[in-house]
Structure 1
Amino acid sequence: MIVDLARALHKGPEKDRGNNIGKLSILASKDTEDLKGSLITKQLSTTPLVVLIHASSKETSDNATASLCDMISASDNIRDSLLQTGFIDTFLYTVQSEPAPEPYIKKNLLQIIQRTLETGADPNFMADIVDELEVIKVESQAKPEDKIEKEVAIKAEKILDILLNGPRPLRQRLRYRRHARHVVRGSDGKPQIIEDEVPNPEIQKELMTVKGNLQNLESRMKSLEIETEELRKESGNLKDNKAFRIVIPDPDVVRLDGEKRVTALQKGPRLIPFTPLVADGQIVKLDLKFARRTSSVGIGVVNGDVNITGSYCIWDSINQKNNIIYWNGGVVEHGGKYTSGNTPYQNMQVLSMEVNMRTTPRTLHFFVDEAEQPVHIEDLPETIAIFGYLYDKTDCFVFVEAKRLEEPTAQGSEDAIVVKWIK
């Protein structure tokens, strides 16, 4: 019956609306059992009244408001369904529309909101309207000569008081709000909401605790940054002989004395690698010097995928593209090709290889007594092993040091000559 009346109210002639509104109100107050079904059923009973609140006739709007208030008072289901089916959105849309609604429409919409709160509605349904209520209050207070606007201001203030200070205040504002809102008029004459900090003792105490913790954390982070930077600088200067060690592929033909000195026991090509491999992202500079030589010796790098055995020969065609060697005569060999331009070196000169696997392309630079050489290598494979090379019996080299660098020392030169690694 209620649903039928609601439909008639929505579609029927103007002259019958007052009578039907009264019937709907009476039925709702007497029996709401048939409104305990779906939200759609409940919405059918309230939507026509909400529409009529917006009527161009003040009398029709007032009658619809009174009837809807009676229904809200008679049924918690009606009240809750009204809030669950968009009444708050309707309110916001109406009061923010241009042109502004008639004052009696604002008053009646506020009356509905007030009634829902007075009958136990959850205030958190209203969280979105607080700012708008404050604006409405100020706008209406600015028109004291208008009786209805005066009522609007009173109702807006009453609702705000219930929402913010009532028995069930808004949880988020009670718990999280740290600002007080007030409204001022801007240069265009329209109200503007301004937020000022509130000296809430509990919140201030909480903020001071958090602030203190943040300051302690920032202080600790600065200390860690300083310590980290010092460690980086230190690690760049530390000698790291133990990190890199010499690997002897065949102890019958090459002897390792201690951890640094390597001597050939038999004549023949002897590639002596260092471990670990230098991998992508690293910068390493390794120094060695030849203590004795009677034939050709060299330094260089070999592809990390190659298995170095005692019989490995850099001259074999299958191996030529897997290694690069800087001969003592000053030429650099790779892939069977020779590139001149580097300085010949002698016994006891410090020879350095700086491998930069962090840059693109990956590079290898040679140094003789710290003097950077023009011929350098680009496009190194993802992993390489650094090596020293001996040939004649009694030839010998000494491992000086190895450094892991944060930044490369190679600067390049105007007469630089690039050798590309053959892929």
Structure 2
Amino acid sequence: MAERQSESLRLPGIQDQSNVRPKLSEISFLVDEILSEDPQRCIQCTERLMGIALQGNEQTSGNLFLCALTTILNSDNIEESKVASDALSKIIRNSPNIRELLIKSGFVEMASIYLTDENTPDHIHTNILIVIQDLVFNSADVHAFSSLFGILSQISEDKDKNMKKKSIGLMAKKICAILSSQGITGPSSSDEIQGLKKQNEEQKRQIEIKKRENEELQRNDEELKRNISELQRKDEEKSRKITELERQLADSNSKPNTNIQQVSELQSGEIPISITVPKGSYTKKEGEFTYTSTQAEYKTFPINSSLYKGIYRCEFKVKTVGHLWFGIMKSGLKIPFGQHANSNQQYGKDSMFFYQDGKLFQNGKSTTGNQAIKDNDSVALEVNLNSTPRTVHLFINNVQQPIFMSGVPESVQFFFFIYQIGNSVTVLSLKRLTATSVQIIPGSKEMKWE
């Protein structure tokens, strides 16, 4: 009889399809069977639907498993509800994936319904709170429980003196304390959620700004370090240069300063004499600048010092007069032996001289008025290169002669000329004067350099 009843409960077309993917039409058929309100048929249809749902879908199996446990959790049977509560707590503590699936599957919403239903037995309240407490302790996102805060607060404030009610209230109060410590003080509205999101975005933006500022500070710090290194390098270079200059100064202080000596000589008046001419028809006395002509030949003897800026005086001694003169030439002019200052235009325009009879010659022109030079006379030429115009004057035996020349070149050399056999001239001195010895004398006559 039992066998026949079991067979009569089997649905036609279903019993052999447990391992076959169902068609959509089968699901529609199962729904019709459930609507028949036959308890046995409803059970069979439910089992079949669960089998269909489980085929090839692991997540669905988790959902169905949790659905079964939450269904048992809400059982009026105290023992069954406690077993389901323990099972859920174990899953919550050991499986993060199923724990999150429990929250997403609507457990929080289900709990809020049962906790607010006055007809819900105390043991279900207790077991639901145990599961919620485990979820709050172990869940990463406590905001999922914000909707329960108000309900839990009301339960915790219940003044019922029943021991079970008190225990439930204490448990609810404990969960509220945990949520409050995490910043949950009530249900989050959509505006609050948006506000939190904005705050989160702003915090991220501020973090990014701080990060960029920190990177900029690091770059500035590196640049500052490079600048400091460069300044230190330059400072070391300057220190080395200062040390080198100090060393050079010490060396120069330990050696005679020839430049200072030369200045002293100039200030004291004496200028070294040097005469450079080729060999020719003349003799030179040893130890003196005395030159004597040995043959009739034009011979010009320039004194090598080129004079510039200052007042200079060159003194000569005439031993034997014959055919000679004394003058100045533009610095660098060279008159070879066999030629003289009046022999062509080039030599004439770049030189001037006082002839032995006192005449002044320049550029082929002559002017009389000075006395003649005789044997054993001393002759001096004084050049003033500081005056405007620059001038040259003749002195015979320290007597200033009236005929002089102005407009001389800015740099000149003294020279003398001898020709006939026996003509003899000695260069006595070349001096730099601190002041001119030229005076304004009666009958003086100025000739201009052309």
Both proteins in one fold, TM over 0.5: no
Structure number with the higher helix fraction is 2
Structure number with the higher strand fraction is 1
TM-score by length of 1: 0.42
Q: In terms of Rg, which structure is larger? A: 2
